[in-house]
Structure 1
Amino acid sequence: MCQHCKKSSINRPRALCWSCYYTPGVKDLYPSTSMYARRGYGFGLTGGRPMPRRSTTAKPGTPEKIAVLMKRAKRGEQLWHPEDAEEVE
C-alpha cells in the first residue's frame, strides 16, 4: 500500500502510488530510498533545510509572498511550507 494515501498499490519510487507521486509536494515528504540518490546538505529532507516555523496566507506571486520567501531564504529554511496559501481558480 502507498505510504501516503494508504489506498493504492505501490508502483513509483519512495513507496508511493502513481497518483501521490505526481501530486505536487507529496513526493518531497518522503525521502528517497534509492542508493543512487543525492544525499547531504541541500538534498531532500535529510540534511536539508529546516521547515519554516509557520505557513503564510500570502498568495503566490504577490509582493507579500516574495517577501516571505526572501525571509525564509535568509533564515536558511525551506522556501515552501506544505500549508502555505495556494491560488485556487
Structure 2
Amino acid sequence: MTACCRHCSKSKVNRPRGLCWSCYYTPGVKEQYPSTSKYARRGVGNFTGNAPLPDAPTSAAPGSPEKLAVLEQRAKLKQALFHPADATFVGDQRPLEFLRGTFAPLGV
C-alpha cells in the first residue's frame, strides 16, 4: 500500500510531512503541514544565546500553573527563564521588594 500526498491526494509520498515532490516544493504548501518527524523542533524552541533578564520578577510559586505560564511567555520572548528576584516559595516577598527597589540579591 502506497501512501498518497496529504495535499493533492494524487501522487505518491516521497518527501517529508507526507507530501509529494511537487507539493513539497510549491511555495506555501509545506508550511501548511506540521512535521511528522520525531526529531522535529516543537514548542517555542531551544534558545541557547545570552538572554536578557525579564523586566520584572514573578510572585508565582514554583511549579504553579501561573509560574509555568510565565516561563512559557519568557521563552517565547527569548528572555532568561528566571529572574533573580522570582519567588521561591508561596508568599515570598522578594518580587515585591524588587518592585519597591529594596531588593538585595543573596550574597551581597
Could you say which TM-score interval applies, normalised by the shorter chain? Answer: 0.3 to 0.5
Instruction: Compute the TM-score of the two structures, normalised by the length of structure 2.
Output: 0.37
